[in-house]
Amino acid sequence: MNTVLPNDVHPAWLPPEAFRALGSRRSLVCGEGTLVDTVRHELALACARYGGSTDQPHPRPDAPPSDDRPAAGTSYELVFALVPAGLLPIAAAAVDVVYRRRHGAGALGEEGFLLARHAEVTVVLAEAPAGLLHGLFHLVRLGESAFGLTRPMELHRPATRLRMLDHWDNVDVHPVMGQVERGYAGGSIFWQDGARREDLTRVGAYGRLLAAGGVNAVSVNNVNVHATEARLLTDRLGDVAAFADVLRPYGIRVHLSVSFAAPVTLGGLPTADPLDDGVRGWWADTTKQVYESIPDFGGYVVKADSEGQPGPFGYGRSHADGANVLADALAPFGGVVHWRAFVYNHRQDWRDRSTDRARAAHDHFAPLDGQFRDNVILQVKHGPMDFQPREPISPVIAAMPRTRLAVEFQVTQEYTGQQRHVCYLAPWWSEVLGFAPWGDDGPTVAAVAAGGPADGGGLVAVSNVGDDPFWTGHPLAQANLYAFGRLAWDPRLDPAAVLDEWIELTFAGASPGGPGPVRRALHAIMDDSWRTYERYTAPLGVGFMVRPGHHYGPDVDGYEYTPWGTYHFADRDGVGVDRTRASGTGFTGQFPPPWRDVYESIESCPDELLLFFHHVPYGHVLHNGSTVIQHIYDTHFDGVEQVAAMRQRWERLAGVVDPGVHARVRERLDEQLRCAEEWRDQINAYFFRKSGVPDARGRRIH
């Protein structure tokens, strides 16, 4: 296993210094298996650097208990062990007894771990090897404080079982989209020049970073499956197997996007009709071969009948029919199919006001609740549209109690500044995950994704990495990748605390002035950066005022008259989309109470979503006391000022952080400021010209 990166690749949140506390201790690792070996390997690397030692018990499995104990007299400071095991060193055995008395066997599950401090030994116990690996990275986060004198026993286990990143990577460079669709960090880490990269060190290092955040699954190729990428399922399967080999030591399973038309395009069958026996047989045989190469393969991801991709509608079948044929092929091997709910009409006529893209997923999928197999996971974008900086939650999340649902986020910043802008997204995701679709007494979005007694579908996000030396183009965008993993593991975490962890790890030991100034500056720059982005872009939840195609920079009417179906309906009197039941598209009716009524009424609709749900006059007074038009002006002026302040703040870190990081972030902040000014001027000028209402504060509007 080689995850040692070349010097020109940034170590992200796992610089060697982050392992100082572990690497200077005497540790013992008990247990067997690939992931336990990874723990040993990590400790050995750290000890080689920081002078500690790592040991393992006597390897003879048939040895009598006393022989299996580590050498008498060795006093360990850190012990990793699997339970139940009677052969643990004293401290670990004592913790084991307490744990089992308190929690009973099984409480830690497949990935959980227990952290305790007993008789001056820090003990990590797990019931399965993955738990030890997660425990290791938890200790990395804690650093010295893991060895403090007192530490209450802590039990950690992930909120949801599947925590996955989707890559929109192509093998070949696509003429319009490039190699990574919506990728802002260079080429793919998996493929180069139309072939699998020979050196997969970077993929292994990526797996290590993801495991340290909490992610445990990766889908390697684009959901828009082009001809070459389709073959990853058959004659190019070796690529996928090679990725699985380097990701496996970090507990990450590989998934693959497949084309619904594969039985025709790859199998040469006359149809891909999911109810056709030949088609069913083809999926079953093909899937069997996949598992022969990759026994722990995770499953398929499918974008069907969406934005030009083939799907069951082509055969007059439902999406349940479509998903189930793949699910049946995967079931014997324990695989799942992530079936995306991103289905809408992208050939609309803007004159037809009865079609509403926001309604589409619910219209298509809610009636199918209960018809999907247990190993189908319906993957739903968190909002009804498409990862705008502000949307309500997708009503599908609350409409399918008998279906496993995964909620999908976008770490890659397609609509949030394309990794040229600082936009720390965890506060937004945290709001979404904590949202209670049935009102305060009901479950949250995070709880739906986690599932009830049975497994839920978990959380999925579109990754933001590429072969850029900083991984993510903008070095500060690494924080989004880290935060997704952490929130997927525990959605209740405070985004500011997650940012703190990321800062501590990433800048560990790398700042001459100590971590204090870096921490303060980065919080000032990043904590509120998503809201800042929202302020200088499309106002009050209306969304989509971006340039068509690449989606960067302002173009208020860019999509207004296109077939994609996203409109703001601004005229001289007002702006916004009427999605009420009373007079609009009826979208509000897709929500359960109380939200169907909260959103229906202009009085109770939250300001930040007002224009998503209502068409209002410019003089409409918001809850914050401002009129809509004045709010547009104020937020756009403020947003730009905030970006200017961010930039100044970063300037002061020159000489405090690594010069390469400093230069890259500075260059991006210059662009962010330029772009924010462009947004401000276009949005303000557009609405001033439409409404004729001047800025109450007399600022210059072009």
Residue 307 bears catalytic tag:
yes
Least Å from the CB of residue 14 to ligand GCU = 29
Q: List the x/- string, 259-298, binding to ligand GCU by CB under 6 A.
A: ----------------------------------------
Q: What are residue 430's phi and psi, to 5 degrees?
A: -65, -40
How do strand 78-82 and strand 121-126 relate by DSSP bridges?
parallel
> Of these, 208, 303, 420, 614, which contacts ligand GCU (CB under 6 A)?
303
Least Å from the CB of residue 214 to ligand GCU = 23
Least Å from the CB of residue 342 to ligand GCU = 5
Active-site hit among 68, 229, 414, 600: 414
> Of these, 224, 257, 464, 480, which contacts ligand GCU (CB under 6 A)?
224
Please, which residue, 344 or 507, has the CB nearer to ligand GCU? Answer: 344
Please report, as residue ranges, which positions from 335 to 354 form the binding site for ligand GCU (by CB under 6 A): 342
Tally DSSP H helices, then E strands, for the chain: 22, 20
Least Å from the CB of residue 169 to ligand GCU = 12
Least Å from the CB of residue 408 to ligand GCU = 8
Q: What are residue 332's phi and psi, to 5 degrees?
A: -60, -20
Residue 414 bears catalytic tag:
yes
In 3D space, the residue among 500, 572, 522, 532 whose CA is nearest the CA of residue 416 turns out to be 532
In 3D space, the residue among 410, 419, 411, 412 whose CA is nearest the CA of residue 387 turns out to be 410
Query: Both tokens of residue 668?
Result: 């991006």
Q: List the x/- string, 148-187, binding to ligand GCU by CB under 6 A.
A: ---------------------------------xx-----
Please, which residue, 77 or 169, has the CB nearer to ligand GCU? Answer: 169
In 3D space, the residue among 387, 382, 376 whose CA is nearest the CA of residue 455 turns out to be 376
* Environment class of 144 (CB within 10 Å of its CB; exposed 0-12, middle 13-18, buried 19+): exposed
- Supply the DSSP string of 630-683, one letter for each residue: HHHHHHHHHHHHHHHHHHHHHHTTTTTS-HHHHHHHHHHHHHHHHHHHHHHHHH
Give me the helices (H) in 51-89, please: 65-68
Q: What is the DSSP letter of 151?
A: -
> Of these, 305, 386, 600, 608, which contacts ligand GCU (CB under 6 A)?
386
Least Å from the CB of residue 224 to ligand GCU = 5
Please, which residue, 300 or 650, has the CB nearer to ligand GCU? Answer: 300
Please report, as residue ranges, which positions from 407 to 426 form the binding site for ligand GCU (by CB under 6 A): 414
Active-site hit among 307, 374, 651, 670: 307
Please, which residue, 42 or 386, has the CB nearer to ligand GCU? Answer: 386
Q: In angstroms, what CA-CA distances link 61 with 65, 89, 92, 130, 220?
A: 10, 16, 19, 21, 38
Beta bridge partners of 524: none
In 3D space, the residue among 420, 401, 404 whose CA is nearest the CA of residue 412 turns out to be 420
Least Å from the CB of residue 544 to ligand GCU = 11
Active-site hit among 386, 408, 467, 534: 386
Least Å from the CB of residue 546 to ligand GCU = 10
Rounded to 10 degrees, the C-alpha dihedral 680/684/685/691 comes to 170
How do strand 376-381 and strand 404-410 relate by DSSP bridges?
parallel
Give me the helices (H) in 108-196, please: 129-142
In angstroms, the CA 300 to CA 258 distance is 6
In 3D space, the residue among 405, 317, 419 whose CA is nearest the CA of residue 361 turns out to be 405
Cβ atoms < 10 Å from Cβ of 4: 13
> Of these, 12, 21, 162, 223, which contacts ligand GCU (CB under 6 A)?
223
How do strand 616-617 and strand 78-82 relate by DSSP bridges?
unpaired
Least Å from the CB of residue 168 to ligand GCU = 7
Please, which residue, 414 or 578, has the CB nearer to ligand GCU? Answer: 414
Q: List the x/- string, 82-121, binding to ligand GCU by CB under 6 A.
A: ----------------------------------------
Q: Give the count of residues interacting with ligand GCU (CB under 6 A).
A: 8
Please, which residue, 31 or 299, has the CB nearer to ligand GCU? Answer: 299
Residues 543/390, Cβ–Cβ less than 8 Å = yes
Please, which residue, 12 or 449, has the CB nearer to ligand GCU? Answer: 449
Please, which residue, 356 or 414, has the CB nearer to ligand GCU? Answer: 414
Residue whose structure tokens are 């999605």: 579
**What is the C-alpha R_g of the chain?**
26
Query: Both tokens of residue 355?
Result: 């079609």
Please, which residue, 385 or 445, has the CB nearer to ligand GCU? Answer: 385
Least Å from the CB of residue 559 to ligand GCU = 12
Q: In angstroms, what CA-CA distances link 409 with 129, 144, 344, 379, 442?
A: 28, 33, 18, 10, 22
Cβ atoms < 10 Å from Cβ of 349: 11
How do strand 169-174 and strand 336-340 relate by DSSP bridges?
unpaired
Least Å from the CB of residue 309 to ligand GCU = 8
Please, which residue, 133 or 180, has the CB nearer to ligand GCU? Answer: 180
Please, which residue, 181 or 273, has the CB nearer to ligand GCU? Answer: 181
Residue 667 bears catalytic tag:
no
Residue whose structure tokens are 């530490």: 151
In 3D space, the residue among 532, 289, 283, 251 whose CA is nearest the CA of residue 389 turns out to be 532
148: left (phi over 0), alpha (psi -120 to 50) or beta: beta
How do strand 574-575 and strand 154-156 relate by DSSP bridges?
unpaired
Residue numbers of the site for ligand GCU (CB under 6 A)? 181-182, 223-224, 303, 342, 386, 414
Positions annotated as catalytic residues are: 307, 386, 414
